[in-house]
Structure 1
Amino acid sequence: MIRTLVVTAALALSVSLSTTALAQDYKVAVANLIDTEIRDWAQSDEVIDAIKSQNKISATLSQADIDRQDKQWRDEVKGGDRTMINAVLTNDLSNYLQGVKTSSHGKYTEIFVMDMKGLNVGQSDATSDYWQGDEDKWQLTYGVGPKGVLIKDVDFDESTQTYQSQVSVAIVDPQSGKAIGAVTVGVNVEMLE
């Protein structure tokens, strides 16, 4: 009985240590991906220019305006008229992000860019809501400033049937050095080295 408990405890400790090591390995791999890939395309002229352009419009929006737009988006997701969603999904930035996703060969499961208020600017796939400003992916990146990064735990994503981590990074204006928006990328962790 005591031997069984010792073996069970040792096995549990071994599993716990290997799970912790795996978690650290994926976080290291994702951090490397941010530094070697994501920041390159996320800081492109296409992304910076689109955010700056939308920020000029978003600067004048009240919270009531944002809530109204978010409600319209969520209603469109449920079905029927998709005028607002289609306008975003077919804009130049969304076309660029769809190309980035396609060229990742499955490494990126989704990409969306947010402005200074947390509103969608462009995306590879339709999000469930338009306003991300009330979520960690925006608050802990844009809200923190130019160095804001958030690496979420790995979850199984039903829609893509992959194990993914959502990675969010502040987008920085290269001229001012200030955060102007953020990007969230679904990363298929099974494709990380």
Structure 2
Amino acid sequence: MQKDLATMTLRRYAPIIGMLALACADTRADILRLYTFEAAPYQVTEPGLPTGPMVRGETVNTVVCAAGQAGWNTEIRTVPQNRAIHALQGQTIDGYFAVDRSAMLDEVATRTDPIALEKWFFFSKLTPATATMGRIGVVAGSNEARWLKRQGLAVHMEVSTVGQLLAVMQRNRIDTGLADYQVLMNNLARNGAIPADPLHLRFVRYAPLYLYLNNAFAQANPDFIRNFNQSIPDCLPGTFTLAENERAILGKRAAELLRQLSGDIDLIGAIGAAPHFDSMAEILNHDSKWRALAPYRPTPLAEQILALPASDALHRWQEGQHDLVTEIMAITRDGTLAAASRLTSDYWQGDEGKFTEALKLVPGEVHLTSLRYDASSSRFLVFASQPVTDPATGLTVGVVALALDIEHALRADRGAL
């Protein structure tokens, strides 16, 4: 009787079981098979789970989240970095992360937008830590190793982990190492490897890291990268957030630049010479047309503004900053663009923080926006803005805003640990 009951139960639920099986089959078909490497806290293998090792971490969570929103499950394994690169080149995996931009990989794979932002430092027991202090050590196959070689800097020793880098430095087998700040701090804390001598740091660069997908996968799934990229901002765990000390450095640098800009260029005159429209409807109509064409070509209004003497002056001033400043704009009290160093993404700035927050400030104060990635230039930028006040009347007539490349702005010596 128990056998008959089991048979009846099975028959009763057979359609549901079949549907679940099909769903599971579909899920298995949409699995993104990825390689990454050990780099706590970004990618960490947790052994001993009932289902086998699990890869977790800040960057892993971002990739899993964005892939999930794009309709895919993920299967992620950690392997040595050189092996991961070979597997991607041989198309035996769908993708590999988190990787610095690579001309070699660009030939065989397609990059997503950045999924992580690392802060690289030279570290040394000597002071100051520089790239010219003799023997440099690095993790073999790492983003840092490839970057050093691209810069023409000789690598004295390659090891398997950052922990090993610290060990060989303690034994005086290298003078300087290169690593991401969080990975370095994680190794010091996790292993209790507090050095006998303090480590001195020198900031090198911000390194945006990407998910590379092999070209066969990208071609077979043409919508995936677009959907994945659109999901990244919602999946980031604060990786692109500046530390308070970094914002303080940027704020000081921005205040100096804006003070210099205001002294060199007649911003009040530039704002006064801006095209004027009688209604918000007209402004938004021009803005809609502007955004539809930018950044590929300008509207007639954009051409008119870019041809203004003030725009030419802003462009020449920007060029004099040697990549530190990537964009400058003068904005009217209505939020419309009065002058710009280059074609902007939109005409009306009135709904953006760099404008609305700057209007709340007193003369001389500076507002910094959050960090954002500019896909067109592959740079991370922060906008600094402040009100433009007419000294004759004391009235705020508009806003001036400039975009800072954070890698250039924050490149400075750091102290000891």
Superposition TM-score tier, normalisation by shorter sequence: 0.7 to 0.9
TM-score (norm 1): 0.77
Find the residue that maps to 1:142 and give its secondary structure: helix
Tell me how far 1:118 sits from its aligned partner.
Answer: 0.5
Amino acid at match of 1:28: A
Task: Quote the residue 1:47 is aligned against.
Answer: 267
Task: Quote the residue 1:67 is aligned against.
Answer: 284
Deviations 1:125-151 (A, max 9, x none): 111111011221111112555466320
Amino acid at match of 1:50: A
2:208 aligned with 1:25, yes or no?
A: no
Task: Quote the residue 2:356 is aligned against.
Answer: 139
Candidates 93, 107, 112, aligned match of 2:310: 93
- CA separation in 1, counterparts of 2:375 and 2:401? 18
The percent of aligned pairs where both chains have the same amino acid is: 25
Deviations 1:54-98 (A, max 9, x none): 3xx64x622112112212322342767732211111211110110
The answer to whether the 8 A contact 1:141-1:170 is kept is yes
Higher strand share goes to which structure? Answer: 2
The answer to whether the 8 A contact 1:142-1:148 is kept is no
- CA separation in 2, counterparts of 1:178 and 1:63? 22
Runs of at least 5 residues in structure 1 that lack an aligned partner in the other structure:
1-6, 12-18
Task: Quote the residue 1:15 is aligned against.
Answer: none
Deviations 1:134-169 (A, max 9, x none): 221111112555466320222332222222211121
Find the residue that maps to 1:118 and give its secondary structure: coil
Amino acid at match of 2:260: D
Task: Quote the residue 1:178 is aligned against.
Answer: 395
Q: 1:79 to 1:103 in 2, by over 3 A?
A: closer
- CA separation in 2, counterparts of 1:191 and 1:83? 34
- CA separation in 2, counterparts of 1:89 and 1:159? 19
Candidates 393, 396, 407, aligned match of 1:190: 407
2:341 aligned with 1:121, yes or no?
A: no
- CA separation in 1, counterparts of 2:260 and 2:307? 23
Candidates 282, 285, 294, aligned match of 1:77: 294
Task: Quote the residue 1:151 is aligned against.
Answer: 368
Amino acid at match of 1:122: A
The answer to whether the 8 A contact 2:359-2:387 is kept is yes
Amino acid at match of 1:94: S
The answer to whether the 8 A contact 2:361-2:386 is kept is no
Runs of at least 5 residues in structure 2 that lack an aligned partner in the other structure:
1-185, 191-238, 413-417
The answer to whether the 8 A contact 2:255-2:364 is kept is no
Tell me how far 1:119 sits from its aligned partner.
Answer: 0.3
Amino acid at match of 2:405: N
Amino acid at match of 1:52: G
Higher RCO (CA-CA < 8 Å; seq separation 6+): 1
Amino acid at match of 1:37: L
Task: Quote the residue 2:117 is aligned against.
Answer: none
Find the residue that maps to 2:273 and give its secondary structure: helix
Find the residue that maps to 1:180 and give its secondary structure: strand
Amino acid at match of 2:246: Y
Tell me how far 1:43 sits from its aligned partner.
Answer: 5.3
Amino acid at match of 1:140: E
TM-score (norm 2): 0.38
Amino acid at match of 1:35: A
- CA separation in 2, counterparts of 1:143 and 1:98? 27
- CA separation in 2, counterparts of 1:121 and 1:44? 17
Task: Quote the residue 1:3 is aligned against.
Answer: none
User: Which one has the largest radius of gyration?
Assistant: 2
Task: Quote the residue 1:102 is aligned against.
Answer: 319
Q: 1:70 to 1:43 in 2, by over 3 A?
A: farther
Q: CA RMSD in A?
A: 2.7
